[in-house]
Amino acid sequence: MASNRAGHLFVARLPWTVCRETLREHFQQFGKVSYARVVFDKNNGRSKRYGFVEFESPESQKRALEEPQHIIEGGKVIVQIRETAERGRNRGRRDEDFTEV
């Protein structure tokens, strides 16, 4: 089920070297980014190679989704609408194993 909150995206297959600021900078070309996060494993500090972006407007999200491909630090990434928090809770609390850097 897609999120009905404005502007939330899931970004997968991030290069290992991508940080929150790099993610934010890439998506700012589509509109004002209010939140960007790359998920890291708290046990080893390595990127889990995915993250989240939130725009201030649904129009910015739409522009980002209309882009045929996204290349960040030389790698083609996958961009999708983020699932709702409700659905995520149904699968358990997986965020406990991650930390934001």
Residue 1: inside a domain: no
pLDDT of residue 31: 97
Residue 3: inside a domain: no
Whole-number CA gyration radius for the chain: 13
Residue 93: inside a domain: yes
Burial readout 11-34 (b: 16 or more C-beta within 10 A, e: otherwise):
beebeeebbbebbbebbeebbebe
Residue 59: inside a domain: yes
Domain that includes residue 54, residue range: 8-100
* 8-state DSSP, 64: H
Q: How many domains does the chain fold into?
A: 1
Residue 28: inside a domain: yes
Q: Check which CATH number belongs to the domain holding 62 and give it.
A: 3.30.70.330
101 residues of the chain, pLDDT tens digit each: 344 456 799 999 999 999 999 999 999 999 999 999 999 999 999 999 999 999 999 999 999 999 999 999 999 999 999 876 544 444 444 444 444 44
Tally helices (H) and strands (E) across the chain: 3, 6
